[in-house]
Amino acid sequence: MIALLALPDARHLLVELPNADARLTQLTRAISDGNGTDDEELMHQLTTLAAYVENLVANHYRRFSATHAYFDLVFKRLNDLHEQSVEAMPSMGGIPGRRLDPARTTCDSVFHWLDQLATRVGKTTQMLRTRIDVQHEKQNQEMLAAMNRRFQLQLRLRLRLQQAAELLSIAIFTYYTVNLLDYVAQEVAVLSDMPLESLLVKAVSAPLLAITAYLFIRRMRAKREI
C-alpha cells in the first residue's frame, strides 16, 4: 500500500504532461521556424513553462523516489521467501507481483517522462538564450561601429575646424604684422630721408611672416601631439 501511494500522482501527471510536452514542442518549432515571434516573448513563454515543469518536479520528486525504493523493498522481500512452485498453485509472491508490476511501470515511466521534459525545457531555454545573446552582441557591435563612425566624423570635422582656425590665425597675424612693419618702415624712411615704397615692404614681408607663423603653429601642434 505504501508503494502504491504515488500511483494517483502518476495518473494525474499523465493528464498534465502531454499538455506541457505539446507546449514545449510548439515553442521549439516557433524558435526553429522563426515565424516572426519575438525572441523575448518566446523566452518569457519558455521561462513560464520551465517554472511550471520545475514545480511539478519539486512536488513529486520525493514521492516518486520513495515509491521506487518501496517497490524495490517489496520485491526484495518477496524474493527472500525463496518460494517454489507447487503444480498449478499460485505463489505467494506472484499475486502481489502481478498487481504491483503495472503500477511500478506506470510510476517509473511517468517519472522518467517528467525528468526528460525538464531536461528538454532546460536545453531549449539555453538554446534560445544563446541566440538572444548572439543578437545582443551583434547589436552592440553595430552600435559600437556607429559610435566609431560618428567619432571619426567628429574628429575629421574638428581637424578641419582646427586647420581653418590656424589659417585664419595666420592670415590675421600676417595682416596686422605687415601693416605694423609698413608703418615702422615708413617712419624710418621719413627719419632717414630715404624713399621707400609701402607696397614693396608689404610684398616682401607678407610671405616671410606667413611662413614664420605657419612654422610656429606647426611646431606647437607637434608638441601637443607628443
Q: Report the candidate in 158, 123, 134 with the shortest Cα–Cα distance to residue 46.
A: 123
Q: Report the candidate in 30, 37, 58 with the shortest Cα–Cα distance to residue 127.
A: 30
Query: φ, ψ for residue 187 (rounded to 5)?
Result: -65, -40
Among 59-73, 87-101, 197-211, the range scoring the smallest mean pLDDT is 87-101
Q: How far apart are CA 129 and CA 58, in angstroms?
A: 24
What is the reported pLDDT for 4? 80
CA atoms within 13 A on the CB side of 223: 6
Question: What is the DSSP-derived secondary structure letter of residue 89?
Answer: P
226 band by pLDDT with thresholds 50, 70 and 90: low
Stretch 205-210: mean pLDDT, rounded?
83
pLDDT digits (tens, 9 = 90+) for 1-59: 777 888 888 888 988 899 999 999 988 888 888 655 688 888 888 999 999 999 998 88
Distance of CA 90 to the CA centre of its chain: 66
What is the domain partition of the chain in residue ranges?
A: 3-152, 159-225
Q: How far apart are CA 91 and CA 185, in angstroms?
A: 137
Q: How far apart are CA 112 and CA 14, in angstroms?
A: 12
Q: How far is CA 28 from CA 24, 50, 54, 56, 135, in A?
A: 6, 13, 18, 20, 18
What is the reported pLDDT for 19? 92
Residue in the structure block whose three cell numbers are 519539486:
58
Amino acid at 225: E
* pLDDT tops 80 at residue 94: no
210 band by pLDDT with thresholds 50, 70 and 90: confident
What is the reported pLDDT for 32? 82
In DSSP notation, 29-80 reads: HHHHHT-S--HHHHHHHHHHHHHHHHHHHHHHHHHHHHHHHHHHHHHHHHHH
118 band by pLDDT with thresholds 50, 70 and 90: very high
Amino acid at 74: V
What is the reported pLDDT for 65? 83
pLDDT digits (tens, 9 = 90+) for 141-164: 999 999 999 999 998 998 888 888
